[in-house]
Amino acid sequence: MKLSLGQTLLLAALSSSSLTALAHPNSIGYAYDERGVIARDGYGNCVRTAEWAKENAVKECDPALFPAPVAVKPAPVVVAPAPAPAPMPVKIELSADNSFDTGKSTLKPEGQAVLDKLAADLNGVTFDKLTIVGHADRRGSKASNQKLSEDRANSVKAYLASKGVDGGKMSASGMGSSEPVTAAGDCKKLKGAKLATCLSPDRRVSIRVSGTKLK
């Protein structure tokens, strides 16, 4: 049967309408064309069906309903600070020959100069303790050497205290001739001035500052 022009146009319109209304099983909210692609109107918008709802919307048609995921910032990496270096102890040796007259405990100018520098270095610096130990050589009696070593240590302590060093953190003691620097066989067969010169390393006052911290 031959169709008229009007009948042909009506049939084409009905066919197009049925294709446009075709619903995709994955999203019943939109109409699809014969290729299975969501149909779009003349403005490029997706054609919705009566079943359209937010729950069955697709991102390509309604991107506003699919906000971009919020990026999760990684937790900042906390780098632990390097441990502070352990404070280094300061040790000073006062030579009795340069700091005291023979058999005396009164400080000479040379010894005072060394202690002046130490007091200046400790100004504004915290420290745990300052230990002063006097020593004597083996000449003389044990008792006299012990007393001389103690007197010299106390003389150093008093001088440092007069320069502002905290006396509560200082201790003074004497070891007599019990801790010589020279070996037992050193200075053998020497007498008088030569023996005194050989044993000079044993006549000393040791000062040790522990727990010092820089400004």
Q: Indicate whether 23 pLDDT > 50.
A: no
> Is 119 in the same domain as 176?
yes
> Is 140 in the same domain as 176?
yes
| DSSP β-ladder status, 204-210 and 129-135 | antiparallel
Whether 27 is in a domain gets the answer yes
What is the band of 88 on the pLDDT scale with cuts at 50, 70, 90? low
> Is 58 in the same domain as 123?
no
Percent of the chain with pLDDT over 90: 40
> Is 149 in the same domain as 199?
yes
> Is 50 in the same domain as 110?
no
The string of pLDDT tens digits covering residues 121-131 is: 888 788 899 99
**pLDDT for 146:** 96
Whether 77 is in a domain gets the answer no
The count of structural domains within the chain is 2
> Is 34 in the same domain as 109?
no
Range of lowest pLDDT (10-14, 122-126, 153-157): 10-14
- Report, as an integer, the average pLDDT of 134-144: 93
28 alpha-carbon distance from chain centroid: 63
Among residues 137, 89, 136, 96, the alpha carbon closest in space to that of 114 is found at: 96
Whether 123 is in a domain gets the answer yes
**pLDDT for 77:** 86
CATH number at 175 reads 3.30.1330.60
> Is 128 in the same domain as 33?
no
Whether 22 is in a domain gets the answer yes
> Is 99 in the same domain as 140?
yes
Structural domain of 166: 90-182+190-210
CB-based contact 136:199 (threshold 8 Å): no
> Is 124 in the same domain as 173?
yes
**pLDDT for 12:** 44
- Which 3 state secondary structure label does DSSP give 31? strand
> Is 119 in the same domain as 36?
no
Between CA 161 and CA 167 the distance in angstroms is 6
What does each C-alpha distance from 35 to 22, 72, 100 come to in angstroms? 10, 39, 112
> Is 57 in the same domain as 140?
no
Whether 142 is in a domain gets the answer yes
Between CA 198 and CA 190 the distance in angstroms is 8
**pLDDT for 18:** 39
